[in-house]
A and B are shown apart, each in its own frame.
Chain A
Amino acid sequence: MTEEQAWIRRAQQGDEAAFTRLVEAYQKPVYSLCYRMLGQAEAAEDAAQETFLKAYRNLNRYDNERPFATWLLSIAAHHCIDQLRRLRFLAFSLDSGEEGQTELPDRFAPDPETEAVRQQDNERLHHLLQTLDPLDRAALVLRYWHDASEVEIAQALRLTVPAVKSRLHRARHLLARRWAEETPHLHPERNAYESPAF
């Protein structure tokens, strides 16, 4: 039995200190997913806290055969999707502005200029993510931020594997199109002798 499995067993028996250890271990991935889904730091923290509370209330229903990370991130993804659907009809600013969280540059990166460009690209990506359908966004975040396989994403989001593949492809197509619209040197140019880009 690994250390994590021991914590889970003890937490299922009511040991709050063991559950706190789990929160400590998973606060970063859960918060990251919530931030990428909701786009705002305050909403992300609230969602992350609520995710851990839901996990605490339903710990007895956790299947020990399944990876704990997948189960926990599934709770987080569904909570964020529910939040987004509730906010669908409210005025919602996509510009994170002051409420956004600045990703700190890697001080040990070999090339600071490249690092600055990378950070800029990530901020653009974060902004564009908020324009995607919630389920597409969740699939993308689980795939690229949490290295989840298509099977794990399908389990977490209660989709089939082909549906996950389709959503990932569609999401990336959409991101690429919007990325190109925002980037002057990437505006698609059509010449008379060429077929349309899409």
Chain B
Amino acid sequence: MNHRPFEDWLLEETPLSPVQQAELEAHLAACPACRALAEVNLALHTARLLDPPPGFLERFQKRLAVERAAKQRRTFFGWFLLTLGGVLLLLWFAWPFLAGELSPLKAAGEVWVTLVNLLVSLQVFLRSAQTLFQVVPDFLLGALWLTLLAALGLWGSLWALSLQKFARLTQGVSR
């Protein structure tokens, strides 16, 4: 039995003329394979969309609330770790200068000034980091975060070091 062009008509679902339609119907009466294809076509064309089970939207809203809480927790811990890392890095770079200055009492005032300078530098560093991370998409990899953190920490340390040296220079001039 020659299935062409009947099979092509059924697969392509081309509109048929009345003569072609009559030929197809005659063929379908004799060909089980093409009749099966025609029945599948009919079933596919009469298929309907299904409604989700009742309460679908309410269950989704609960899941969304859980997702939102998880995202807020991730953001909070991300900022906390970033800030902690920055502070520790700054302290690590500034410690040699701080350690020498802490013991003599007469240098307490200089230490206080240095600390204030460091805090101001830290504040500037945090503000810069906050601005930077507000524009960086959430999907940055952890490794990239650490790299950025280290770079910002280094910049903050250099800033603190230059302020420290400037403070010493001005003291040297005034003496």
Contacts and interface: CB of A to CB of B under 8 A. Distances in A.
Interface of A: 16, 19-20, 23-24, 27-29, 31-32, 35, 41, 44-45, 48-49, 52-53, 56-57, 60, 101, 103, 118, 121-122, 124-125, 140, 144-145, 169, 172-173, 175-177, 179-180, 183, 185-189, 194-195, 197-198
Interface residues on B, range: 35 or more
A197 B3 contact: yes
Contacts of B43: 118, 121-122, 124-125
23 contacts: A19-B64, A20-B64, A24-B57, A27-B60, A29-B49, A48-B56, A49-B60, A53-B64, A53-B67, A103-B50, A118-B46, A125-B44, A125-B47, A140-B44, A144-B47, A145-B48, A176-B39, A177-B36, A179-B39, A186-B32, A195-B1, A195-B2, A197-B33
A45 B51 CA distance: 11
B42 A121 contact: yes
Chain B interface mostly: helix
B11 interface: yes
A125 B35 CA distance: 15
A183 B36 contact: yes
Contacts of A189: 32
B113 interface: no
B52 A31 contact: yes
A53 B3 CA distance: 48
B49 A32 contact: yes
